[in-house]
Amino acid sequence: MLAEFLLLALLALVLWSLYDNYVTGKNLPPGPTRLPFLGTIIQLALRAKEPPYLMLQKLSQEYGDMMTIKFGTLWQGMTDHKMPASSNCLA
Q: What are the residues facing 35 on neighbouring strands?
A: 39
pLDDT in tens, 34-85: 776 677 777 777 777 888 778 888 888 888 888 888 777 777 777 776 656 5
The pLDDT of residue 40 is 79
3-state DSSP call for residue 1?
A: coil
Pair type for strands 66-71 and 74-79: antiparallel
Q: What would the mean pLDDT of 1-22 be, rounded to a whole number? A: 83
Instruction: Please answer whether residues 33 and 21 qualify as being in contact, where contact means their C-beta atoms are separated by less than 8 angstroms.
Output: no
Question: What's the whole-model pTM score?
Answer: 0.57
pLDDT in tens, 13-27: 888 777 776 666 667
| The pLDDT of residue 86 is above 60 | no
